[in-house]
Amino acid sequence: MVAKWIETLTGSLEQKKQYRHEKARIDRLSDPYGTAAKAMHRYLMYYGGVTDGDTLITMFGDLADLWERAAADATPVREIVGDDPVDFAETFAQAYSGRQWIDKERARLTKAIEDAEQQERT
């Protein structure tokens, strides 16, 4: 009962465990892969705007997989991200099409314009 109430306020406890697991995988990476993965993780937290927990967990799991594989293969960091790491990170994030925080604002803007248009007609 208490756990259900807490989850109502904070979100899924299972998703939080999964997130901590994926974050720990990134934190365990040796440098330079750990440095690159942590920087990309931070950027995705700001840029991604994903609000759907399952999508977020999948994205960070895939991020950990990517950098673990690169470390195992000793692939140079630039071979992974290319010349523009921002473009790489944003393209990576676009592959995860969960709900985003901006979706609510897009709907709000669209409704406001429709309301304004309706007011013009009256």
Q: Is 50 helix (H, G, I), strand (E, B) or coil?
A: strand
Answering whether pTM is above 0.75, one says no
Range of the domain at 59: 2-121
CA–CA dist 5, 121 (Å, integer):
47
Q: How many CB atoms lie within 10 A of CB 53?
A: 17
The whole-number mean pLDDT for each consecutive block of 10 residues of the chain, a chain of 122 residues, reads: 57 86 96 96 83 85 97 97 94 79 81 88 80
The DSSP code sequence of 52-63 is -HHHHHHHHHHH
Helix (H) or strand (E) holding 114: helix 101-121
The tally of domains found in the chain comes to 1
